[in-house]
Amino acid sequence: MKNLKAFLSALGSHLSSESILTDPHECNAYGTDWTRQVANVSAVLLPRSTDQVAKILSLANELEIQIVPSGGRTGLAGGAVASKGEVVLSLSKMNRIDSVDRLSKTVRVQSGAITEAVHEHCKQSGLLWPIDLAAKGTCEIGGNLSTNAGGVRVIRYGMTRKWVTALQVVTMQGEIIELNRNLEKNNTGYDLLQLIIGSEGTLAVITEATLKLTRLPRFKNIFLFSVTSLEQMARLCEEANFGPFHITAFEFFSQKCLHTVQEKLKRISRIGDTAPFYVLMEIERSSNDLSEVEEWLGKILEESLVVDGSLAQSSEDEKASWGLREGITESIAVTGPVRKYDVAVPVSQMVPFLTEGQKMFSRMNLSIDLYLFGHFGDGSPHFNLVKKPDCSMQEFSNQCDRFEIELFALLKRYGGSVSAEHGVGNLKKHWVTYSRTNRELELYRSIKKAFDPKHLLNPGKILDI
Ligand code: MLT
Ligand code: ZN
C-alpha cells in the first residue's frame, strides 16, 4: 500500500513497537472473522488509548491509508474483513471496565472489553447489560455497538442500540467526540450516537461507551418444547405471550439442527428428538412460586399445544438446554462450508414465510443441506446452507447463489430485511437495495462523505461508494 512505510514510521513515535504488527502471518489473523474470508492485511495496530487512536486516524487520513476497525471478529457478514491490504485497527487492548454506577444503572467501558466480562462485572451489582449472543465469550463491546448486535433476548430487551447512553468516538480526521454524555434524555436534534451504532465502523471508530443496565431477573426458567409444525410453534408463542411470566427468549431450531448438535458436539436433549421443530423458551418471573408456571405448562401439555415440553429443574439442565441452541453455529461450522442468511420478517409473517421458504428449497432440488433455526419470537430466522461432502465447492457456491436469489425475492414480498442482526458487511451489500430504497442509499452516501470524504474507513462495507 502506498505511503505505508511513511505511515508506520510516523506512528513509531506514538505507539510502542508491540503495538505495531507487520508479520504477514500474524497480521492476517486480524483480517478475517467468522465468515472465514481470506485476509490480506498490511499491518495491525493495537493502540492502548483513545489519544493513540486519534493519532493513528489523523495520520492515516493525511497519508490516505485505509483502515479496518476490528473487535472480537466474530461477525457473520464480513464487516471486519481486511482483504485488500488495509491496515487493521484492533481495539482489543483497550478493554477497561469501570465500576458500575448503581444510581444511574450504567457502566463505562472501553471498546475492547469482552461482552461476557462486562456481563460478569455488572452481575456483581445485581445488574445486567442485556445483549446476549452465542459469541459473548469472544466478541467485544465495540463490535456489538458497531453492528447493533441482536442475539437471543431481543424479544424482551430489543437490540444493542437501546442499551447505550454515551459514546466516545474518533473520526477519521482524528477528532475525539463525546456523544450524549450519559444523558437519559437529550432531545436536541439529530442523534449522532444512534447514527454511529450499527454503522459497522464506516463513519467513526468507537473507543468507549456508557452502557445502560437493567436489574438482573430475579427468577428465570427455561423450557424445551417439541412441536409438530410451525403453526403449532406460533400458537405456543402466542399462548406464552399471555402466560404468568415475561418471555426473555423464544428460540427455535429444526430437527436437523438438533441432530447435528447432538452428533457433533455430543450435547444431550432431555426431550425426544423425533419432532420436526424445537423451541427453547426462557422466562423471567418476580416471584419464587413456581406453581403458576407449572400450571401453565400442564395446560399447554393437556391441550396438546406441543408434542413434548419440559421445564429445566437445575442449573445443569438450563445450561444443557442453552447448549443445544447456542451450539448450532459451531456444530454447523464443523459439518462443512456454510452460507448464512440472517433475515427478518414481521413476527406475524414468520409461519407463512418459513413455510414458503422451506417449500421453495425442496422444489429447487438442490444437493445442499438446509438448517433452519433462530429467533422465532422477534421474527429473525436463520437459513444456513451447508455443503454436502459429495458436492464440489463450485457447485455448492452456484446452488447457494440460486437459492439466495429466490430467498431474497420471497423476502421482498414479505417486506422483510436482508439482515436482521448480523449487519451488511461486505457479504450483504449487493442485496441492501432489497431493504433500503435508492433515496435512503443516496442519503447514506452523503452521510459517509460528511464523516469520511476520502473513503478510508472500513472501505467496501455496507455499500460501495
Ligand atoms: C445465532 O443466532 O446463533 C447467531 O446469529 C449466529 C448464527 O447465525 O450462526
Ligand atoms: Zn442469531
Lowest mean pLDDT among 143-147, 299-303, 340-344, 374-378: 299-303
Q: Report whether 236 contacts 230 (CB < 8 A).
A: no
Q: In a 3-state reduction of DSSP, which class is residue 5?
A: helix
Lowest mean pLDDT among 302-306, 346-350, 393-397: 302-306
Q: Which residue has the cell 447505550?
A: 164
**How remote is the CA of residue 201 from the centroid of ligand 1, in Å?**
21
CA nearest 370: which of 361, 359, 360, 379? 361
Q: Report whether 272 contacts 308 (CB < 8 A).
A: yes
> Over 90: is that where the pLDDT of 1 sits?
no
> Over 90: is that where the pLDDT of 369 sits?
yes
**How remote is the CA of residue 192 from the centroid of ligand 2, in Å?**
26
Q: In a 3-state reduction of DSSP, which class is residue 422?
A: coil
Please, what is the average pLDDT of the chain?
A: 97
Q: What gap in Å lies between CA 147 and CA 201, rounded to an integer?
A: 8
Region at 64 (left for phi over 0; alpha for psi -120 to 50; beta for the rest): left
Q: What gap in Å lies between CA 131 and CA 364, rounded to an integer?
A: 37
Q: Report whether 82 contacts 40 (CB < 8 A).
A: yes
The closest-lying atom of ligand 1 relative to the alpha carbon of residue 332 is 9
The closest-lying atom of ligand 1 relative to the alpha carbon of residue 134 is 3
In this prediction, residue 359 carries a pLDDT of 98
pTM for the full predicted model: 0.95
Q: Report whether 284 contacts 318 (CB < 8 A).
A: no
**How remote is the CA of residue 382 from the centroid of ligand 1, in Å?**
7
**How remote is the CA of residue 251 from the centroid of ligand 2, in Å?**
9
Q: In a 3-state reduction of DSSP, which class is residue 152?
A: coil
In this prediction, residues 451-464 reach a mean pLDDT of: 97
**Local structure of residue 101 (DSSP, 8 states):** B
In this prediction, residues 203-210 reach a mean pLDDT of: 98
Q: Which residues line ligand 1 (CB under 6 A)?
A: 76, 134, 329, 340, 342, 374, 382
Residue nearest to atom 7 of ligand 1 (CA): 329
The closest-lying atom of ligand 1 relative to the alpha carbon of residue 382 is 8
**How remote is the CA of residue 374 from the centroid of ligand 2, in Å?**
5
In this prediction, residue 231 carries a pLDDT of 97
Q: How many residues does the chain have?
A: 465
The C-alpha R_g of the chain, in whole angstroms, comes to 23
Chain-centre distance for alpha carbon 39: 21
Residue nearest to atom 2 of ligand 1 (CA): 374
Q: What gap in Å lies between CA 323 and CA 436, rounded to an integer?
A: 35
Lowest mean pLDDT among 69-73, 77-81, 114-118, 285-289: 285-289
pLDDT tens digits, residue range 287-311?
A: 888 999 999 999 999 999 999 999 9
In this prediction, residue 411 carries a pLDDT of 97
Cα angle for residues 236, 305, 150 (degrees, 5° grid): 20
The closest-lying atom of ligand 1 relative to the alpha carbon of residue 340 is 8
Query: For residue 60, what is the enclosing H or E element?
Result: helix 50-63
In this prediction, residue 465 carries a pLDDT of 86
For the chain, what is the total number of helices (H) and then of strands (E)? 15, 17
Q: What gap in Å lies between CA 452 and CA 463, rounded to an integer?
A: 14
In this prediction, residues 440-453 reach a mean pLDDT of: 98
**Local structure of residue 49 (DSSP, 8 states):** S
**How remote is the CA of residue 150 from the centroid of ligand 1, in Å?**
9
Nearest-ligand number for the alpha carbon of 333: 1
Residue nearest to atom 9 of ligand 1 (CA): 329
> Over 90: is that where the pLDDT of 460 sits?
yes
| Three cell numbers, residue 308 | 413434548
Q: Report whether 217 contacts 284 (CB < 8 A).
A: yes
> Over 90: is that where the pLDDT of 223 sits?
yes
> Over 90: is that where the pLDDT of 127 sits?
yes
pLDDT tens digits, residue range 140-187?
A: 999 999 999 999 999 999 999 999 999 999 999 999 999 999 999 999
**Ligand 1 mutation target, pool 139, 155, 331, 342, most atoms within 8 A of CB:** 342
What is the full DSSP assignment across 198-262? TSTTSS-EEEEEEEE-EEPPSEEEEEEEEESSHHHHHHHHHHHHTSSSEEEEEEEEEHHHHHHHH
The closest-lying atom of ligand 1 relative to the alpha carbon of residue 422 is 5
**Ligand 1 mutation target, pool 328, 340, 373, most atoms within 8 A of CB:** 328
| Three cell numbers, residue 304 | 396438546
In this prediction, residues 201-220 reach a mean pLDDT of: 97
What is the longest distance spanned by two Cα atoms in the chain? 73
| Three cell numbers, residue 68 | 479496518
In this prediction, residue 288 carries a pLDDT of 87
Q: In a 3-state reduction of DSSP, which class is residue 57?
A: helix
Chain-centre distance for alpha carbon 63: 33
In this prediction, residues 327-341 reach a mean pLDDT of: 97
CA nearest 209: which of 151, 175, 161? 161
**How remote is the CA of residue 76 from the centroid of ligand 2, in Å?**
10
Helix axes 350-363, 230-241, angle to 10 degrees: 160
Nearest-ligand number for the alpha carbon of 328: 1
> Over 90: is that where the pLDDT of 233 sits?
yes
